[in-house]
């Protein structure tokens, strides 16, 4: 039986008088104004503010369904850079909204809760990166986009999970690289590029690190015919590849993919069942993209507490009150922009629709 992604807080649909909402029309039978739902108010306010609502693939289903665009971190960065809306409402975590602000300094960028951080981004700060660079003078710094603006400002080129290998391939093979902050993504990039001159920061995302080899082995053994999608931040990535190489699971059924890559793969899948090793918010988009395949989480507890801080109530408050606005000081933003723009120019375009 499919194990459904758990929504931590059930959606509270707010019923608001239409008069306070500028929603036109009256109820002919009763003569009263019609009432608007939460989703109608969100759409009306977004239109009034000329705001585009972006949602990461890990957001709560209600947030994904109301957004103008849902995608992976690279795809959403591109959309934020290209939109002609005046405001960007970023339903994701803080580094993602900050990246949108870096790319579009003239736009107002908001996140419904500025406390939505990222345990992976918190594993390295600017002082630690300065010290690491001093130990490897001349090395090129490749930072995963899950980093603060200050760390990006000290970076040569950013990457996401969908273009990390292409970014590294674009660098002279003789050149020493500092790759940060995710150790599992770094190990994956080392493996696929065959380079051994990459130093990897020992950071991890607590959600993906908790998708363990034992979770994987148990789920795969219980579903031997299923395909397997694994996000490269997962603690089980190496075990999955080892199981595929040893024949314990069929190698051609195992895919290491970014969240956007999973979606593309799901659209063309003819499998009866797919096991998904990533944050469980992803299941919503996968199930919508392919309703005939069953998508099961490798670890049903793998929910990102930061992503889930963006609730329907906070999105509405953000649109009504303009909270929380994201600011990045000009010097930091200018330095970070070069690294982010290099990332956008390289390889896989990411995914966002
Ligand atoms: P993507 O780059 O695949 O969207 O993932 C972002 C992220 O935060 C993974 O945990
Ligand atoms: Fe950060 Fe992990 Fe949450 Fe992604 S899933 S936002 S890496 S804490």
pLDDT in tens, 327-336: 999 999 999 9
Q: Is the CB of 96 under 6 A from ligand 2?
A: no
Which of these CATH numbers, 2.30.140.10, 3.40.50.10800, 3.40.50.11310, 3.40.50.300, describes 16-118+309-327? 3.40.50.10800
**Alpha carbon distance 259, 233 (integer Å):** 11
Looking at domain 211-301, its CATH superfamily turns out to be NadA-like (3.40.50.10800)
CA distance 351 to 353: 7
Give the whole-angstrom CA distance, residue 87 versus residue 128: 33
| Average pLDDT over every residue of 248-267 | 88
91 touches 53 (CB < 8 A): yes
**Per-residue pLDDT tens over the stretch 289-331:** 999 999 999 999 999 999 999 999 999 999 999 999 999 999 9
pLDDT digits (tens, 9 = 90+) for 207-232: 999 998 888 888 988 998 899 999 99
**3-state secondary structure string, 274-318?**
EEEECCCCHHHHHHHHCCCCEEEECCCCCCCCCHHHCCHHHHHHH
Confidence of residue 14 (pLDDT cuts 50, 70, 90): very low
Ranges for all domains in the chain classified under CATH 3.40.50.10800: 16-118+309-327, 121-204+331-345, 211-301
Please state, for a pLDDT cut of 70, what percent of the chain lies above it.
88
Residue 281, pLDDT score: 97
Of 176-190, 208-222, 279-293, the poorest mean pLDDT is in: 208-222
Which atom of ligand 2 is least distant from the CA of 304? 3
Going by alpha carbons, the residue nearest to atom 8 of ligand 1 is 146
Distance between CA atoms of residues 260 and 18, nearest Å: 38
What is the token pair recorded at 273?
């069942």
Roughly how many angstroms between the first and final C-alpha of the chain, as a whole number? 29
What 3-state DSSP class applies to 323?
A: coil
Average pLDDT over residues 64-90: 92
Rounded Cα distance, 30 and 28, in Å: 6
Tell me what the mean pLDDT of segment 140-161 comes to: 96
| pLDDT tier at 185, thresholds 50, 70, 90 | very high
Is the predicted pLDDT of residue 23 greater than 50, yes or no? no
Centroid of ligand 2 to alpha carbon of 263 (angstroms):
18
Instruction: Average the pLDDT over 165-182 and give the result.
Output: 97
The CATH class, in words, for 121-204+331-345 is alpha beta
205 close to ligand 1 (CB < 6 Angstrom): yes
Band of residue 347 on the pLDDT scale cut at 50, 70, 90: low
Query: Does the pLDDT of residue 29 top 60, yes or no?
Result: no
Q: How confident is the model at residue 247 (pLDDT cuts 50, 70, 90)?
A: confident
**φ/ψ of residue 109, rounded to 5:** -115, 135
What mean pLDDT is reported for the chain? 87
């Amino acid at each position: 039986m499919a194990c459904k992604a758990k929504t931590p807080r059930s959606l509270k649909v707010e019923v608001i008088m239409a008069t306070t909402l500028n929603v036109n029309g009256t109820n002919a039978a009763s003569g009263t104004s019609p009432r608007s739902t939460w989703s109608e108010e969100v759409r009306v306010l977004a239109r009034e503010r000329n705001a585009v609502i972006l949602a990461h693939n890990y957001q709560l289903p209600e947030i994904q369904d109301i957004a103008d665009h849902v995608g992976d971190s690279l795809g959403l960065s591109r959309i934020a850079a290209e939109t002609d809306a005046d405001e960007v409402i970023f339903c994701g975590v803080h580094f993602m909204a900050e990246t949108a602000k870096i790319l579009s300094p003239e736009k107002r960028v908001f996140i419904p809760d500025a406390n939505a951080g990222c345990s992976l981004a918190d594993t390295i700060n600017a002082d630690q990166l300065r010290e690491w660079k001093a130990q490897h003078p001349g090395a090129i710094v490749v930072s995963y986009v899950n980093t603060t603006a200050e760390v990006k400002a000290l970076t040569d080129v950013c990457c996401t999970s969908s273009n990390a290998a292409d970014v590294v391939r674009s660098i002279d093979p003789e050149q020493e690289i500092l790759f940060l902050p995710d150790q599992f993504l770094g190990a994956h990039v080392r493996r696929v590029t065959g380079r051994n001159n990459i130093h990897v920061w020992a950071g991890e995302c607590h959600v993906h690190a908790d998708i363990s080899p034992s979770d994987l082995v148990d789920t795969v053994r219980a579903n031997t015919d299923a395909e397997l999608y694994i996000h490269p931040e997962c603690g089980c990535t190496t075990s999955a590849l080892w199981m595929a190489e040893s024949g314990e699971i069929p190698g051609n059924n195992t895919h290491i993919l970014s969240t956007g890559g999973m979606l593309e793969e799901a659209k063309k899948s003819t499998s009866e069942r797919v096991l998904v090793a990533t944050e469980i918010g992803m299941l919503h988009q996968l199930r919508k993209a392919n309703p005939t395949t069953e998508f099961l989480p490798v670890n049903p507890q793998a929910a990102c507490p930061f992503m889930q801080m963006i609730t329907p109530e906070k999105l509405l408050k953000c649109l009504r009150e303009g909270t929380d606005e994201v600011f990045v000081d000009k010097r930091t933003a200018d330095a970070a922009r070069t690294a982010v723009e290099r990332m956008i120019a390289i390889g896989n375009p990411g995914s966002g629709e």
